[in-house]
Structure 1
Amino acid sequence: MSWQSYVDDHLVATGKVTKAAIMGKQGGVWAASSGYNLAQNEQDAIVRTAFTQPDQVRANGITLNGFKFMTLRADADEVIGRKGDRGVFIIPTNQAILVAEYDAPTSAGEANVVVAKLADYLKSVNY
């Protein structure tokens, strides 16, 4: 299965995630939903800062595709951001990082279940 199909079929097609990307832990976007373009500085913030300097992420928020989210949680397992009706989950696996945004009326819990399920699967197959 291609990385693009994970984004399209396992995240966006659920109706609970509006935009998503899968990045490598060493950098680079492996796949992204249509029109979801993470700038290089946004990618760097995820890869280099999000999970290693959580205090900085909590203090400054996280910007994705030009939209800045306030950080609700940042630790080694997950970064959660929210602003208005939009939210984001950023979850690392063994080799990848899942980035998934959602919008109202989807609740944070509904979106989190979808993203966490894919993250758990990728971890189980060493990705």
Structure 2
Amino acid sequence: MSWQSYAKDHLKEAGAMLSAGIYGKDGAPWATEGDIAAGIKNNEIVRLVQIVEGREKNFLDIMLGGKKYVYTRHDEDDKFVYLTKSTGGTGDDKNYCCAYVSKQCVLLGFVGENHKMGNCSTVCCKLRNYLNGAGY
């Protein structure tokens, strides 16, 4: 199965997400689905990994795709973070992100107001656990 299939079939479609992506810990995109995930820069992923793994403690000005996100919650032991982006509008202007870090990669899921963050998080976490078991 290709990385693109993981992003499309196992993340975006399974979690009813706006956008999803899988990136190497170096920030290189392995696969993306949707505009949000496609616009994320390598250095933004690298910084996000540092935050999730507890190597950076500054949770201000987290950027993804050039958009500012607000730190909501994270767990260094389980290696995940939740973020919120809001431009003050509704619908697609406001979205939420979960990021799960595995041994070699980062899985991102983005949902809007009409989606459930719990579904997004569960799908990302399950795929991350599977990839960890496979050495990724």
Over the matched positions of the two proteins, sequence identity in percent amounts to 30
**Counterpart amino acid of 1:82?**
T
* Alignment partners' CA distance in 2, 1:34 and 1:104: 16
Task: Give 5+ residue unaligned stretches, structure 1.
Answer: none
Match of 2:90 in 1: none
TM-score (norm 2): 0.79
* 1:38 to partner: Cα distance: 0.9
Q: Is residue 21–residue 33 contact of structure 2 (8 Å, CA) maintained in 1?
A: yes
* Change beyond 3 A, Cα 1:39–1:109: same
Aligned residues: 125
Counterpart-to-counterpart distance in 2, 1:27 and 1:83: 20
Give the root-mean-square deviation of aligned CA atoms. 1.9
Gapped regions of structure 2 (runs ≥ 5): 87-93
Name the residue aligned to 2:130: 121
Describe the shift of the 1:119–1:94 C-alpha distance in structure 2 as closer, same or farther (beyond 3 A). same
- 2:89 — aligned with what? none
Aligned-pair CA distance for 1:46 = 2.3
**CA shift for structure 1 position 51:** 2.3
Give the TM-score normalised by structure 1. 0.84
1:105 lines up with 2:114 in the alignment = yes
Match of residue 43, structure 1, among 26, 45, 60: 45
| 1:28–1:82 CA distance, 2 compared to 1 (3 A) | same
Please give the alpha-carbon distance, in whole angstroms, between the structure 2 residues aligned to 1:126 and 1:119: 10
| Distance of aligned partners of 1:15 and 1:52 in 2 relative to their CA distance in 1, 3 Å threshold | closer
